Amino acid sequence: MSRRYDSRTTIFSPEGRLFQVEYAMEAISHAGACVGVLSKDGVVLAAEKRITSKLLDPGHKLEKMYQLDDHIICAVAGITADANTLIQYLRLSAQQYSYAYQEPIPVEQLVTDLCDLKQGYTQYGGLRPFGVSFLYAGYDEHFGFQLYQSDPSGNYGGWKATSIGAKHNQAQSILKQEYKKDISLKEALELTVKVMSKTLDNTTLKPERLEFMVLKKKADGSVGMVALTPDQIGDLLKATEVDKKEED
C-alpha cells in the first residue's frame, strides 16, 4: 500500500515517513563501517575498507577518509560517488568561509552547511537524497575537539563516540559500555581498534583493510590530521590483540 508513496522523494507516506530517506539509510547500512571517538586531546576516526577486487589500484588515496580543511577531517559510509560530490561541496564551503571571514570555519557550521544541502534534497526538486552518512572530526577555538555525525535526512548530532555503516548498532553498544569520560587520545585509539575488531570478522582484520585518521595537536602546537600508515595500523592491531589475549 505504501508503495504508492515512495516514488517521489518529496512527499510523506500516510504513516508520516519519507521512504526515500529511509531507503538511503538502508543503502548505508550495507557499507563499510566507520567509527569515531572523541577524546580530550584529539579525535580518532577509523573505517573498514570494502575492497571489491584485487585488481583495484587505489594509489595513495584513502577510500573512506578525507581531509576537509586544516582542522577538519571526515569519514564516509555509503555511495562513493555521492560522497565525492559532497566532499567537494564541504571543501568549497570551508574555503568560502575562510575567504569571507579570514578564520577557519567552526566545525558545527560546516556540518550545518552540508546538512542544509542534504535536507533540501528531501524537500525540493524531486531528486533522490544523497546515500551517504558522514563522521566529522574537527577542532576550533570555540569548542575544542568535536565529533559529529550526519545522515541522508540532513539530521546531525554531536557525539562522544559513534559509528555508521555495517553493524553500527553492535559497534554503538560496545562504545556505550566502554567509553569513559576524559578518555585520552591513546585510549581512544585503543577503544576504536577494539570496537573494529569486535564488529568485523577477525579474518578481515588486517592493516590493509583498515584506515585510521587522527585529528590532534601537533608538536608545533597547531592542530592537524595524521593518517596512520599500514605499519602503524599493524602495530596498533598487535597491541590490542595482546590485550585481548590477556583478557581471555
Partner 1 sequence: GEAMSIQTYNGAAIIAMSGQECVAIASDLRFGVQNQTLACDHKKVYRMHDRLYMGLSGLATDAQTLYKRFVFKHNLYRLREERDMRPQTFASMVSATLYEKRFGPYFVEPVIAGLDPEEGHAPFIAGMDSLGAMETAKDFMCAGTNSESLLGVCETFYRPGLGPEELFEVISQCMLSGVDRDALAGWGAVVYVISKDQCIARTLKGRMD
How many residues touch partner 1 (CB under 8 A)?
12
Residue 15 Cβ, how far from partner 1 at the closest point, in Å? 42
What is the distance between the alpha carbons of residues 73 and 142, in angstroms, rounded to a whole number? 17
Q: Smallest distance from the beta carbon of 154 to partner 1, in angstroms? A: 24
Site for partner 1 contains 69 (CB under 8 A): yes
Q: Is 29 in the site for partner 1 (CB under 8 A)?
A: no
* 188: enclosing H helix or E strand: helix 185-199
CB 65 within 8 A of CB 215: no
In the complex, minimum distance from the CB of residue 63 to partner 1, in angstroms, rounded to a whole number: 14
Q: Is 60 in the site for partner 1 (CB under 8 A)?
A: yes
Verify binding: residue 67, partner 1, rule CB under 8 A.
Answer: yes
Minimum CB separation of residue 91 from partner 1 in Å reads: 5
Stretch that binds partner 1, among 67-75, 110-118, 148-156, 165-173 (CB under 8 A): 67-75
Read off the DSSP letter of residue 206. Answer: -
Residue 151 within binding range of partner 1, rule CB under 8 A: no
C-beta pairs of 183-187 under 8 Å, 24+ apart in sequence: 183/37, 183/39, 183/40, 184/39, 184/40, 184/41, 185/39, 185/40, 185/41, 185/42, 185/44, 185/214, 185/216, 187/39
Binding mask 89-118 for partner 1 (x = CB under 8 A): --xx--xx-xx--x----------------
C-alpha cell belonging to residue 119: 535536507
Distance CA 27, CA 21 (A): 10
Residues that bind partner 1 (CB under 8 A): 60-61, 67-69, 91-92, 95-96, 98-99, 102
